Amino acid sequence: MNSRSLSRSKKALSTSLVLFWVLKENAKIQFIKAKQSKYALKVLIGKTVQIDQKTYSSNDFAQISMVFCEKMKLLIEREKSKKTRILTINRTVLESIRSHKESVKDSEAFDFNQINDCRNREAAFSNFLSFVLVQRGYSLCLNLTTLKESSKVMHFYVWEKVVDPSGEALCIKQDEIVLRKMVENIQVQNTDNLVVYGIGDVLPHLCTVPVSAFVPVDERDYQILSSFNGVHHPFQ
């Protein structure tokens, strides 16, 4: 896989990562139909997102993404000066950054239909989902050592890990199989009118199995080195 294909696949996994958690929040998402690439995992792009009985369009993705990127740029500049390697974004951190675009209303008008580069659509959708999660108490982890700011297109933030408010985490490296499967399932089902109602529509088994990066192990692989004062031995 060449460097461009690798970069595309990382973006696809990052979008899948934030999409996973937004779907867990019972969002309904309509996707833009696109052909699957033979060389890299497809970066999904949403057409509409409905969450908490409010529907967001492509223009909303772009406008909210612009506000998000403005704050992220200032935050990244600040943290890079401190030699920070892994930056964790949450609502408190994001709201600590004051920019000249403090709300969607403050950002200039943005005609999403005039975007001539698919990368802007991908970035706007992924950044919008990221913003939704931050506002809901999630924490998103970003590797600053490999970050290169985009100058010609809207910046696409590639997250390493997302942690929900209860502490459950999903990581690109450890959970790549799940994230890839979700993208592939959506691509297989995708039509012009595909609407996903929740995580169970693309990964049904996760409706009954809790999300966790923890992998159960066989208790026979371990040896008890100290005695227990409890009534029952924990492995009996």
Residue pLDDT, tens place only, 151-175: 678 999 999 999 999 999 999 999 9
Residue pLDDT, tens place only, 8-36: 899 999 999 999 999 999 999 999 887 76
Locate 203 and state its tokens. Answer: 């990964």
The residues near 178 (Cβ < 8 Å, ≥ 6 apart) are 20, 170, 203, 206
The residues near 223 (Cβ < 8 Å, ≥ 6 apart) are none
Supply the angle between the helices 3-24 and 176-189 in degrees, to the nearest 10: 80
Residue pLDDT, tens place only, 50-70: 999 999 999 999 999 999 999
CA separation for the pair 155, 103 (Å, rounded): 18
Task: Provide the whole-model pTM.
Answer: 0.79
pLDDT for residue 14: 97
Phi, psi of 54 (to 5 degrees): -120, 135
Closest CA to 64 of 137, 141, 130: 130
List, in sequence order, the alpha helices (H) in 107-212.
118-135, 176-189
